[in-house]
C-alpha cells in the first residue's frame, strides 16, 4: 500500500477519535429516548470504525497511528435537544465527507469498507434531521 492510502487511513482514524468523543459527550447531555438511542448507535459505529482503522494501520506496519487527543472542543448550543441534534448531524456530515475521501484514497477492501461506511453514515444522518442526498459525502 502506498503512502497515500495509508495517509487516508490515518486521517480517517484521527477523525474517528473525535467522533467517538463527540458522540459520547452528546449522549451524556441527552435524556433517554429516541435521540439518545440514535446517539448511542452513532457512538457504537464510530467506536467500531476507530478500532478497525487502528487495527488496519497496525497491519500495515504503521509505527505510530494517530491517537486520541486528550480533549476536543465541543460545539456550542448543547443545552437543548435541538442543539444536540444539530451537532450530531454536522458530525455525521463531516464523517460522510471523510469517508468520501477514504473511498477516493484507497483501493480493495479498504475502499469497499469506506463505501459501506459512507452509506451507513448517510442513513444515520436521517435520524438527526438530515436530508437524503444523491451523493453523500460530496459537498
- Residue 138 pLDDT greater than 70, yes or no: no
Q: What's the confidence (pLDDT) of residue 60?
A: 93
Q: What's the confidence (pLDDT) of residue 2?
A: 46
- Indicate the fold that domain 3-127 takes in CATH: Ferritin (1.20.1260)
Mean pLDDT of the chain: 92
Q: For residues 77 and 136, what is the distance between their CA atoms, to the nearest angstrom? A: 26
Q: What's the confidence (pLDDT) of residue 126?
A: 94
| Per-residue model confidence as pLDDT tens digits over 37-86 | 999 999 999 999 999 999 999 999 998 999 999 999 999 999 999 999 99
Rounded to a whole number of angstroms, the distance between the first and last alpha carbons of the chain is: 28
| Per-residue model confidence as pLDDT tens digits over 115-128 | 999 999 999 999 99
Q: What's the confidence (pLDDT) of residue 139?
A: 56
Q: What's the confidence (pLDDT) of residue 3?
A: 52
Q: What's the confidence (pLDDT) of residue 118?
A: 93
φ/ψ of 132, rounded to 5, equals -55, 145
Q: What is the arithmetic mean of pLDDT over 92-100?
A: 92
Q: What percent of the chain has pLDDT over 90?
A: 88
Q: What's the confidence (pLDDT) of residue 65?
A: 93
Instruction: Give 61-105 as a DSSP string.
Output: T-SS-----S--PPPS-TTSHHHHHHHHHHHHHHHHHHHHHHHHH
Q: What's the confidence (pLDDT) of residue 91?
A: 95
Amino acid at each position: 500500500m502506498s503512502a497515500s492510502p495509508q495517509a487516508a487511513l490515518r486521517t480517517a482514524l484521527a477523525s474517528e477519535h473525535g467522533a467517538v468523543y463527540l458522540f459520547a459527550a452528546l449522549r451524556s447531555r441527552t435524556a433517554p429516548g429516541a435521540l439518545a438511542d440514535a446517539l448511542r448507535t452513532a457512538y457504537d459505529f464510530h467506536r467500531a470504525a476507530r478500532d478497525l482503522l487502528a487495527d488496519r494501520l497496525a497491519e500495515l506496519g504503521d509505527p505510530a497511528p494517530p491517537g486520541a487527543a486528550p480533549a476536543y472542543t465541543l460545539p456550542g448550543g448543547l443545552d437543548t435537544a435541538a442543539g444536540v441534534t444539530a451537532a450530531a448531524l454536522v458530525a455525521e456530515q463531516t464523517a460522510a465527507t471523510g469517508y468520501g475521501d477514504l473511498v477516493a484514497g484507497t483501493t480493495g477492501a479498504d475502499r469497499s469498507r469506506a463505501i459501506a461506511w459512507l452509506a451507513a453514515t448517510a442513513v444515520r444522518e436521517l435520524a438527526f434531521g438530515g436530508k437524503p442526498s444523491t451523493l453523500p459525502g460530496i459537498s
